[in-house]
Amino acid sequence: MAALAASSLSAQGADTLTVMMNDLDDVEVTAQRVRQTTSNHEVIEKEDLNRENTGQNLPYLLQMTPSLVTMSDDGLGIGYSYFRVRGTDHGRINMTMNDVPLNDSESQLVYWVNLTDMASGLSSVDVQRGVGTSTNGSASFGASVNMNTFVYDTCNHFTVGFNGGMYNTFREMVSAGVKLPNNFYATARFSKVNSDGFLYRAASDLYSYSGSFGYFTKKTEAYVELFGGKEKTYMAWDGVDYNTAYGLEGADRRYNPAGKYTDDEGNEAYYKNQNDNYWQQHVQLHWNQRWHPQWTTAVTLHYTHGGGYYEQYKENKKFTSIGLQSFVDADGNTHKKTDYIRLKNMNNHFFGGVASVKFTDEAANAQFGVAANHYIGDHFGNITWIRDSLYPYALPFDYEYYRNQGRKTDVNTYLKANWFIIHRAQERLTLYGDLQYRYVDYRIDGTNDEDRGDLAIHEQFHFFNPKAGLTYENHGHLLYGSFAIANREPNRKNYTEAGMHDIQKPERLYDYELGYSYSGLWGKNDKAWGVGLNLYFMDYDNQLVLTGKYSSTGAYLTKNVKDSYRMGAELTFGVEFTKWFRWDGTLTLSRNRILNHSDWYDAYQSDWSGGDSQVEVQLGNVDIAMSPSIIAGNLFTFNTHGFMATIQTSVVGKQYLDNTMSDEASLKPYSTTNLNLSYELPLPARCPSIRLLCQVNNIFNAKYASNGGNWACRFEDTNEFYHSPWFYAQAGINVHAGFVVNF
């Protein structure tokens, strides 16, 4: 019972367990989404996604997904936020919006702050754990997340939402859908989110929008989808020490060191413009057509433009790091370092097309798809100010100290099919097959921002990704097994910020999944219940694992390890005790290991002499960084007469910050509990519906850190490690309340 009470909750409870058996979809807005019959996945619909939405980024609304862990820089989940599935960071999780790649082509990340309150504009989210079915864009190494925006509604609607809470957190949202004559339909949404953040000077000023206009009949869908957003966030990615993160010895957990410097009078100060600014616009043109009861096609053209910069105060840095000369003043003093303010800029374009043709029959269905996308990204940096007033050389206005350009072409084609070997009313035996070929051409040319060295990188990859599985379903019982191979190329940081011994290679994953589930009814009133167990073994070749180090922009760095694996069991359960009370949860137990691991470290003597060389250390078999062996939680739902209350508990086990397995460089296990209350006013049918909501996060005020990193070196005279870890403190108890009005 204790283990179940600590299990991480299921998005759909018992109903989730039946969703794994799906045919290829009919022609609709989700025409390109194909649900693999052997993949363990959840579909979260718009109503469930937004029931407890108070403006946190999408990862926090997906916490009900098994094996998923969230973290944020600002401590609230409003600013920069991230998630991992089965210990895999979200830069290696495939994410699409209406089947168009959403991951940045170079970093392979999705920056949720660019599209704040995305959930308000989504119709559904499909989360597939493991490799999953073939999709467009980057490889899926831990999961794939397919988001849909447009949904055709036969009724006009208008929605207004507002909520406010602690740390000056506010969200305003307005959306509308209008049915027009002659089968046309239009939607629009605008969201504004502001927060000071839990940490000092971790403020976020965000907005996003979406809109669509389309033509819909039983056989034809043609529509344009527009969405985008803009963010301004104060940096909070520097992290703090252990005592500060956990509030020990009177430390202030809200402390944020970003932008700290010493002014001319020797006083401690913080640079007020230490912030990140970025904007992004997406345009998608969709045409889905049913030509015959068995044949449909889907074609999408897309274009994304993004641009922005971050401004940063750097203290006591070498002139040579920004391409300037050191100098000797009139008194004979040599000046090698100074303070300066830098702007690091990006401007990128992403465009392409995806297309598919689908055949559906009682005995089988199949889909053939192709996608071709191209990315162009400019990266350049400016120095706008230096402190040293004696600097004798002319510093041009907005002096540019580096510039490079990344270009990436990504082409893939796939063929996948379901064959219904047995296809009776209550019994099905289905064979699944999926073959994908992917070609990647990636170039970086120019000057590196890290060491100002020349960049002349040109890599080409040819990947073949086969998948197969078998599913048997009979009277609520579902048994399935699958095998898949996935290949993934390194990202930009793997090339530009790799260590001297870290030769970056593509990684390969062999994913084995085996599962059983049952869902049915019990009791006199036909109450629902279900249980499921999924076993997985993910065997990697040259997996890129976190090293514990990170770049100057807060990006976590990785390196190849030859042999590693992730294996685990994911338990899901749900039971409806009455029509007004249900209990849901999941429990993930896993083992995540690197075999025969070695790594290079800066070498010092214990008196800190040396440091000009590195030493290779044999570490043996070690746990993979940031991969907890237990991810668990619990959900109680009470729902009666317009009132709903949920009590959600999440538990995450111990996580090492790097691969040395040092307790000093690890995150303590933590547990958080959130309480969500809502009440829909009992108004007459002709009146707008009004729903009041209140959210109390971390009601037991747990002091915890959900993310961090570590710098380690080796003392050669003692053969001991020295660790310098940092942590990201998360907010204690915080309260938010508001309302939603639907006309």
Work out whether strand 94-97 and strand 143-148 pair parallel, antiparallel, or are unpaired.
parallel
pLDDT at 685: 82
> Strands 581-604 and 630-640, how do they pair?
antiparallel
Amino acid at residue number 215: Y
DSSP 8: B
pLDDT band at 406 (very low <50, low <70, confident <90, very high): very high
Q: How far apart are CA 42 and CA 10, in angstroms?
A: 9
31: left (phi over 0), alpha (psi -120 to 50) or beta: alpha
Asked if residue 249 has pLDDT above 80, the reply is: yes
| Burial bucket for residue 607 (CB in 10 Å: 0-12, 13-18, 19+) | exposed
Q: How far apart are CA 657 and CA 549, in angstroms?
A: 9
Q: Supply the pLDDT for residue 25.
A: 40
CB within 8 Å of 681: residues ≥ 6 apart: 642, 689, 690, 691, 692
Average pLDDT taken over every residue of the chain: 89
Question: What is residue 192's predicted lDDT score, i.e. its pLDDT?
Answer: 97
- Full 3-state SS string of 623-661: ECCCCCCEEEEEEEEEEECCEEEEEEEEEECCEECCCCC
Q: What pLDDT score was predicted for residue 547?
A: 66
| pLDDT range class, residue 329, cuts 50, 70, 90 | confident
Percentage of the residues of the chain whose pLDDT score is greater than 90: 73
pLDDT tens column, 160-184: 999 999 999 999 999 999 999 999 9
Please compute the mean of the pLDDT values over residues 699-726 and round it to a whole number.
94
> How many residues are given for the chain?
743
Top-confidence residue, 685 or 656 = 656
Q: Check pLDDT > 50 for residue 32.
A: no
**Mean pLDDT along residues 137-145:** 87
> In which band, very low, low, confident or very high, does the pLDDT at 551 lie, cut at 50, 70 and 90?
low
Question: Quick check: 482 and 432 in contact, CB under 8 A?
Answer: yes
Where helices occur in 236-287 by DSSP H, the ranges are: 242-246
Residue pair 99/135 in contact (Cβ under 8 Å)? The answer is yes
What average pLDDT does this structure show over 315-340?
90
- How much is the pLDDT for 28? 42
**Angle of CA points 214, 215, 216, to nearest 5°:** 120
Identify the pLDDT of residue 43. Answer: 86
Task: Give backbone dihedrals phi and psi of 583, rounded to 5 degrees, phi first.
Answer: -130, 125
Q: How far is residue 197 from each of residues 52, 56, 233, 255, 553, measured CA to CA in Å?
A: 19, 11, 10, 11, 19
C-alpha–C-alpha distance, residues 275 and 330, integer Å: 37
Mean per-residue pLDDT for 421-445?
93
- Give 60's pLDDT tier (boundaries 50, 70, 90): very high
Residue 393's pLDDT band (cuts 50, 70, 90): confident
CA angle 185, 188, 192 (to 5 degrees): 170
Question: Lowest mean pLDDT: which of 93-102, 296-305, 322-331, 339-348?
Answer: 322-331
Confidence (pLDDT) at 495: 86
Q: Taking the complete model, does pTM exceed 0.75, yes or no? A: yes
Between CA 599 and CA 616 the distance in angstroms is: 6
Tokens of 626: 């940031």
How many C-alpha atoms does 404 have within 13 Å on its Cβ side?
21
Q: Residue 353: pLDDT band by 50, 70, 90 thresholds?
A: very high
The arithmetic mean of pLDDT across residues 10-30, rounded, is 34
Spacing of C-alpha 53 from chain mean position:
17
Which pLDDT score is estimated for 498? Answer: 66
- 412 with 438: CB under 8 angstroms? yes
Return the pLDDT at 14. Answer: 30
